[in-house]
Amino acid sequence: MKQDEIRELLDNTKRYFLQQKDLFGNIIYTETDVKKKSNDAHEISMPTDEPWTETGNLVDLDKSINNCLKCGLGKTRTNFVFGVGNPNADVMFVGEAPGADEDAQGEPFVGRAGQLLNKILAAVELKREDVYICNILKCRPPNNRDPEPTEMELCTPYLYKQISLIQPKFIICLGRIAAQWLLQTNGTLGSMREKIHDYRGTKLIVTYHPAALLRNPNWKRPAWEDMKMFRDEYNKIIQR
């Protein structure tokens, strides 16, 4: 085999292994995406000249930012989807973005995925009003497409402020995109699951998005294992 043929074979092999696919065979990211994400990974800083950064509670924060038009999603949304739940929650669930039902009602996780999330909470002896639920994006991307990096960069400071006001003991990322963004990693969902991550001093657990569980019920078993791991860790804290 000629040297240029060997080089081409090695390049193709490398490209193959750098492609990540989900169980449906969809490419999650490719070699090009990996390089781009690695270059984009950085700490997003809080603005210093916007009044909402000085708010002291979630109600005032919502009032201060719910007219946001920093990105194009502000022009296409029906409702700004701030978040819902206990402002002093020990556990905070973070998804990627609102869907159609959430956009219509202005509340996160209210459709079929939200109903499943309620059942998941009940299975670990929690209620919706016990926890806090929100998304990285506060506005629905058209046709439920994946959030764009620029959109998440602009919206993430709002999430940072929510976290700082709530001060949860646990953050549970629902789905790959939310987990990758908060952890600033290119890791697959499988590589991020089944472990306790540290996120700015807060324990973070990664599991499947409820919408993914509706598409593929085979993932419900590993999702249950994730939640049992969470409950075990949570019990250690509340029993101290």
Nearest to 108 by CA among 125, 88, 92, 124: 92
Give pLDDT, residue 18.
Answer: 41
Q: Cα–Cα distance between 186 and 53 in angstroms, integer?
A: 29
Q: Mean pLDDT for each 10-residue chunk of the chain (240 residues)?
A: 47 42 38 36 78 97 98 97 98 97 97 96 97 98 96 98 98 98 96 96 97 97 97 89
Helix (H) or strand (E) holding 162: helix 149-166
Residues 6+ apart with CB under 8 A from 34: 18, 186
Residues in the chain: 240
Give pLDDT, residue 34.
Answer: 36
Give pLDDT, residue 48.
Answer: 84
Q: What six digits make up the tokens of 106? A: 């202005």
204-227 burial: b if 16+ Cβ within 10 Å, else e:
bbbbbbbbbbeeeeebbebbbebb
Q: What is the pTM of this model?
A: 0.82
Give pLDDT, residue 238.
Answer: 83
Give pLDDT, residue 105.
Answer: 97
Give pLDDT, residue 30.
Answer: 37
Give pLDDT, residue 58.
Answer: 98
CA dist 145 → 36, 141, 188 (Å): 19, 6, 19
The structure tokens 């390049």 sit at 11
Q: Calculate helix-pair angle for 58-65, 149-166, nearest 10 degrees.
A: 160
The structure tokens 């998304």 sit at 135
What are φ and ψ of residue 11, in 5° steps? -65, -45
Q: Which CATH class for the 57-238 domain?
A: alpha beta
Give pLDDT, residue 19.
Answer: 43
Give pLDDT, residue 239.
Answer: 78
Domain boundaries, the chain: 1-40, 57-238
